Amino acid sequence: AQSVAQPEDQVNVAEGNPLTVKCTYSVSGNPYLFWYVQYPNRGLQFLLKYITGDNLVKGSYGFEAEFNKSQTSFHLKKPSALVSDSALYFCAVREGGSQGNLIFGKGTKLSVKP
Amino acid sequence: EPEVTQTPSHQVTQMGQEVILRCVPISNHLYFYWYRQILGQKVEFLVSFYNNEISEKSEIFDDQFSVERPDGSNFTLKIRSTKLEDSAMYFCASSERLRKRGELFFGEGSRLTVL
């Protein structure tokens, strides 16, 4: 069965510092990996995805993520955090070739302080 | 930019009442989904829908739940007899045909409160 783990409930970062939000996954086939962001009282917004190719993928708002097959990880990163990045971040996985159902992690709350 | 729209944004209902949540997916999308998020918990898959039928559903999606696309634009989730534990944020999502590797586009959500 597919699963996603986000080991941190909350990540605290000072503005201007690099940030990392961790994600590990488990699928039986090739993974399709996604990051979504949820601002307060809003829906889920797509940030980036890994399907195939370069292990480092770049997405919206300066975020990037690195796919590591050996560690089954897909950590979200940003070189310099902004206060406006404060939100709830969800990692999601879809098994390659499946109908499209995404399995989400429990979410990590990112708090960026000035 | 095209977006998924959901109504109502918030509904309060009494336990045992029927609720219908509505969604208008992005117009050229053919795969539709409902997810829910109980307050403070993870986003959970409920059901996916393609070609006017359910393609996949989770164990949460029991006989109290149903979906339909009555008029080619709306995609609805019906809860026949609501329970307290149905209180959650319900998200509709859609994705493009043939782009199974594409991302899902989510609506803003409908918050359901069952009293």
Structure confidence by residue, pLDDT tens digits, B33-83: 999 999 878 899 999 998 889 988 999 999 999 999 988 789 999 999 999
Residue of A59 and A52 predicted with greater confidence: A59
C-alpha distance from A79 to closest chain B C-alpha (Å)? 24
Are B11 and B114 in contact, with CB atoms under 8 Å apart? Answer: no
> Please, what is the end-to-end C-alpha distance for chain B in angstroms?
37
Test mutation, A44, A49, A50, A104, chain B, max B CBs within 10 A? A44
**pLDDT attached to residue B46:** 94
Structure tokens at A50: 């890994």
| DSSP string for residues in B40-109 | TS-EEEEEEEETTEEEEE-TT--TTEEEE-TTSS-EEEEESS--GGG-EEEEEEEEETT-TTSPPEE---
Contacts of B31 in chain A (CB under 8 A): 99-100
Q: Which secondary-structure segment (H or E) carries B31? A: strand B29-37
pLDDT recorded at residue A1: 74
Q: Between the CA of residue B107 and those of A9, A68, A78, A108, B29, what are the distances in Å?
A: 24, 30, 26, 20, 13
CA angle B36, B79, A102 (to 5 degrees): 30
pLDDT band (50, 70, 90) for residue B115: very high
Contact B104 A102 (CB under 8 A): yes
Q: pLDDT confidence of B27, banded at 50, 70, 90?
A: confident
Q: Judge contact between A38 and A107, C-beta under 8 A.
A: yes
In this prediction, residues A25-49 reach a mean pLDDT of 89
Residues facing residue B11 across a β-bridge: B112
CA distance B92 to B73: 13
Give percent above pLDDT 70 in chain B. 94
